[in-house]
Chain A
């Protein structure tokens, strides 16, 4: 409940009251979507819900609760802590991360300069993706990535919303704390979007283990090199890799003897092979065929399938 309160605080007073009345189970809540002059939509345990005029959750209703422009403005004010200017960089990318590691995606009128997005004004839609901390969800994955001396370089491949960040977070925690009889290792995390550790004033709010150092809000490319030099980690973890420079940094880290844990958006191993990102030793593919976070397949560096369910 406390975690819910914390999250609901970012909504305008009227929306907050409506949401609090629902008594939601935060672990089942995945998304809250706000669109100006449109109904509020919740994604809750895999289904879509609206709020009817009596404040109940319904899959279908004639008179859903509508988001007003004022609600939207107030909500954005709270999300940005009355200071949109402090989130310039995040807004340029279209989303910002709030206390608790939840991600808020936004759309509205963009302002461009020389073809680059400078800012988003008149924010009309927001999508709040609730971050989940599921301790122990990496048990299955750990079996595939452990080896005699520690872990393999591992890439988690998954479409959005299949639990890759959640899995990564739990892997970090287990590797850092040690699991079964495996001793814990020093883990360095470059948390560019503050989603893994959800740092507040530099201190991780999520449990990421006792041997974990977090570089918050740091670009991955430079962050990884910084970590190698400054903290001598055994394992480096990053979320959502993609840029050319990032791949180079990962190569560099691997050559330095660090093990890499990374995630990427995608659906299959072939896709990654094409993009020349097949420098890892283990590839875990996620989907939600059997609930969020299902391990669909595991590949090793030769592309051989380890398991297919």
Chain B
């Protein structure tokens, strides 16, 4: 009797693990899309509002989702304190901070960090180009993920169940 209950528990937990990995993929897709929206907003603030970066960040933080809204709000606040740090330092520090809260891949976090390196540099045209470049990277990431996500989620679900069963078989 105990054996059977134990086996069921193992299989269930295996399934859960598989599902949570799949969920992570869905969250990643959501975050990438949220970033894309952020870039569109930022572009507008710079293009039409001719806003300085801290001001623009403060504005857009109201319209976007966590954890990015918090990140932009904090960057804006820290920049306005003028504590002797460059823009890139502040930017990278805060991207690093939210890294663990997101489901982004390492590579995608690096891309987000790299965006900060070119912001504030040269003229307005340059800002827009920098944002466009980053948007292209996002588009690429989103497209890739969307193509594979259905298959991947199913795969992870199966793997979870199978893994559970496998472990039960080995133990028995």
Chain A: residues with CB nearer than 8 A to chain B?
9-10, 12-13, 74, 77-78, 80-86, 88, 119
B83-A85 in contact (CB<8A): no
B77 CB–A CB distance under 8 Å = no
24 pairs, CB–CB < 8 Å, chain A vs chain B:
A10-B82, A13-B84, A80-B52, A81-B52, A81-B53, A81-B54, A81-B55, A82-B53, A82-B54, A82-B87, A83-B52, A83-B120, A84-B122, A84-B123, A85-B46, A85-B120, A85-B122, A85-B123, A85-B124, A85-B126, A86-B46, A86-B50, A86-B51, A86-B52
B79 CB–A CB distance under 8 Å = yes
Known interface pairs A9-B82, A13-B83, A77-B87; A88-B52 also in contact (CB < 8 Å): no
Contact with A along B117-149 (1 / 0, CB 8 A): 000101110110000000000000000000000
- Max chain A CB contacts within 10 Å: which of B46, B123, B124? B123
Distance between B26 CB and nearest chain A CB, rounded to angstroms: 35
Q: Given A13-B83, A81-B53, 12 other A-B contacts at CB below 8 A? A: A74-B86, A77-B120, A81-B79, A82-B53, A82-B120, A84-B123, A85-B46, A85-B122, A86-B50, A86-B51, A88-B123, A88-B124
**Count class of interface residues, chain B:** 10 to 19
Distance between B144 CB and nearest chain A CB, rounded to angstroms: 32
Least CB separation from A75: chain B residue: B82
Q: How far is the CA of A77 from the CA of B120 in the complex (A)?
A: 9
- Max chain A CB contacts within 10 Å: which of B51, B52, B124? B52
B123-A78 in contact (CB<8A): no
Which residues of the partner chain B approach A85 to less than 8 Å between Cβ atoms?
Answer: 46, 120, 122-124, 126-127
B123-A119 in contact (CB<8A): yes
A84-B120 in contact (CB<8A): yes
Least CB separation from A11: chain B residue: B82
- Max chain B CB contacts within 10 Å: which of A9, A78, A85? A85
Q: How far is the CA of A88 from the CA of B52 in the complex (A)?
A: 11
Distance between B64 CB and nearest chain A CB, rounded to angstroms: 20
Distance between B53 CB and nearest chain A CB, rounded to angstroms: 5
Which 10 A-B pairs give the minimum distances between C-beta atoms? A13-B84, A81-B52, A83-B52, A85-B124, A82-B87, A83-B53, A86-B52, A82-B120, A85-B123, A78-B82
Which residues of the partner chain A approach B84 to less than 8 Å between Cβ atoms?
Answer: 12-13, 74
Q: How far is the CA of A84 from the CA of B52 in the complex (A)?
A: 8
Distance between B117 CB and nearest chain A CB, rounded to angstroms: 13
Q: How far is the CA of A195 from the CA of B171 in the complex (A)?
A: 80
Q: How far is the CA of A88 from the CA of B47 in the complex (A)?
A: 13
Distance between B127 CB and nearest chain A CB, rounded to angstroms: 5
A82-B124 in contact (CB<8A): no
Q: How far is the CA of A13 from the CA of B83 in the complex (A)?
A: 7
- Max chain B CB contacts within 10 Å: which of A10, A81, A84? A81
Distance between B94 CB and nearest chain A CB, rounded to angstroms: 14
Distance between A83 CB and nearest chain B CB, rounded to angstroms: 4
Which residues of the partner chain B approach A84 to less than 8 Å between Cβ atoms?
Answer: 120, 122-123
Q: How far is the CA of A175 from the CA of B105 in the complex (A)?
A: 63
Distance between A121 CB and nearest chain B CB, rounded to angstroms: 9
